[in-house]
Amino acid sequence: MTELLANIDVRAVLVALVTNIACALAGVFLVLRRHSLMGDALSHAVLPGLVLAFLFTGSLGAGPMLLGAAAAGLATALLTQLVASSGRVSNDAALGVVFTALFALGVLLVKRFLGKIHFDIACVYEGSLLNAALDTVSFGGVELPRTLWQGLLVLAIVAGCLTLFWKELGISAFDPVLATTMGLSANKMHYLLMLLVSLTAVVSFQAVGSILVVAMLVAPTATAHLLTDRLMPLVVWATLLAITATLVGYAAAVRFDFSPAGAMAVASGALFALAALLGPRHGLVSRVVGNLRVGRRIRRDDLLSSAYRREESGVAAPIAASAAVAEIGGGLLAWWAYVDLLRKGLATRSATGLTLTELGRTEGAQLVRAHRLWESYLVEQMGIAEDHVHAAAHEVEHFLDAELRERLAAERPAGEKDPHGRVIP
């Protein structure tokens, strides 16, 4: 175990994992509150807090740095709300003004006191994961990165606050007004969240830099949101995605000699792209496949209702497959619907053509019943002319369930015929 922890790559990955998981946990509620830009703002705005903390204490230890970051984060949130509450500036404009001003102040302080402060400007922007892994302290005879201990402390604080204030953070994230009416201060939860984001940002300075930290604050949660709509699974998915992005990104950085932090951010973006493309519910491919299946079902219903109407009118001869498909518009989707009709046992194909089975005849009757009941409702209840209701009923018939069909039937006047004089099955 000691030999494993002595490996520079293992240390770097551990530092990145701890900081990125902390960012992902804090970022969940940041994204839910639609304050993703605040993560970017705070990752920049904590810089003057770090500089001033060093100037006052003369120490780069975890305590002063975390206190400086917390103070700067709360100052950013308070100043943003103060500027926005003036009524003349929108929230996003106020945030842009405040965080750019504070970040510029931090850069000026770094430039002014560069000889006294051991800050690397490149590290502020890009991070220095390998250097962080080399800066170790001994604990129980094991040399571990100083940033790892700081990250574990912040991770514990973030996880502890999420556990203690889970209900409050959840309600205020989804509905601040409801939280206030329930006696839960949405503003306090907002400032608590800003504090947590500030702490994770300052720990991430050395690991991933102030610019790339926003990727870990936002991307895992945004990706997880494409995979689930529930809060607890969202937190779990965000954590797993942060871990995946860290491992994949670092492996790519070692393989292709990239910046580790940059590779992790790119990996996060790649995971988001995959979820956006292949997500089970909200992915582009899933939506396309879902739309195709709905289209197939509608055309299959059209085949059923058309065959039922032919039987109803006394046309005994089965219709040829090509003619049946042409009747519903033709094309590959119509042929797919035709094959699905046969596969589900709703119709049989013979040498003479397409014939409904008993199951198909029953489902066809329900479709026609829904169509004619809706036509009756539009004419009798809505006062629409008889010659204007067919197209609307044709669209709705595919989505009327049994309960709604019976409610429409119950509301009709006595009589079993539609406005065109046709019997309602």
The answer to whether the CB of 282 falls within 8 A of the CB of 38 is: no
**Mean pLDDT to the nearest integer, 311-326:** 75
**The pLDDT value given to residue 1:** 54
289 within 8 A of 240, measured Cβ to Cβ: no
Q: Looking at 318-421, which runs of residues are DSSP E strands?
A: 347-349, 354-356
The pLDDT of residue 332 is above 70: yes
Across 271-290, average pLDDT? 88
User: Can you give the pLDDT at residue 38?
Assistant: 75
pLDDT tier for residue 276 given thresholds of 50, 70 and 90: very high
Q: Please report, for residues 133, 321, 358, 366, the alpha-carbon distance to residue 355 in angstroms, rounded to integers and kept in the order given.
A: 74, 10, 10, 17
User: Considering the domain 2-213, what is its CATH architecture?
Assistant: Orthogonal Bundle (1.10)
pLDDT top residue among 285 and 122: 285
Q: DSSP letter at 350? A: -
With H, G, I as helix, E, B as strand and everything else as coil, classify residue 120.
coil
pLDDT tens profile 206-234: 677 766 788 888 899 999 999 988 889 99
Mean pLDDT of all residues in 64-89: 77
> Which residues, 6+ apart, have CB-to-CB distance to 118 below 8 Å?
60
Task: Flag the least confident range among 103-107, 352-356, 413-417.
Answer: 413-417
Residue 89 has pLDDT above 80, yes or no: no
- Strand-pairing partners, residue 239, are none
The rounded distance, in Å, linking the Cα atoms of 47 and 82 is 21
CATH of 360-411, one of 3.30.420.10, 3.40.50.720, 1.10.60.10, 1.10.3720.10: 1.10.60.10
pLDDT grade, residue 240 (50/70/90)? Answer: very high
CA distances from residue 221 to 29, 83, 90, 249 in whole angstroms, order as listed: 9, 28, 25, 17
- pLDDT greater than 70 at residue 126: no
Residue range(s) in the chain whose domain bears CATH number 1.10.10: 298-356
Q: Give 112 or 167, the one with higher predicted confidence.
A: 167
C-alpha distances in Å from residue 265, one per residue of 158, 220, 291: 21, 10, 33
- Confidence at residue 158, expressed as pLDDT on a 0 to 100 scale: 92
**What's the CATH number of domain 298-356, 1.10.10, 3.30.43, 1.25.40, 2.60.40?**
1.10.10
Distance CA 127, CA 121 (A): 9
Say which residues have a Cβ less than 8 Å from residue 257's Cβ, sequence separation at least 6: none
Q: Side-chain half-sphere of 11: how many Cα atoms within 13 Å?
A: 24
Mind listing the pLDDT tens digit for each residue in 348-376?
Answer: 887 667 888 899 888 988 888 888 888 88
Q: In this predicted structure, what is the pLDDT of residue 121?
A: 56
pLDDT at 127: 65
- pLDDT recorded at residue 162: 92
Residue 404 has pLDDT above 80, yes or no: yes
Residue intervals in the chain for CATH 1.10.60.10: 360-411
**Is the pLDDT score of 22 beyond 60?**
yes
> Can you tell me the distance from the alpha carbon of 405 to that of 71, in angstroms, rounded to the nearest whole number?
62
Average pLDDT, the chain: 81
Would you state the pLDDT for residue 398? 85
| Cβ atoms of 206 and 128 closer than 8 Å | yes
CA quadruple 61, 67, 71, 72: dihedral, nearest 10: 30
Instruction: List where CATH 1.10.3470.10 sits in the chain.
Output: 2-213
pLDDT of 235 higher than 90: yes
On the question of pLDDT at 237 being above 90, the answer is yes
* pLDDT band with cut points at 50, 70 and 90 for residue 395: confident
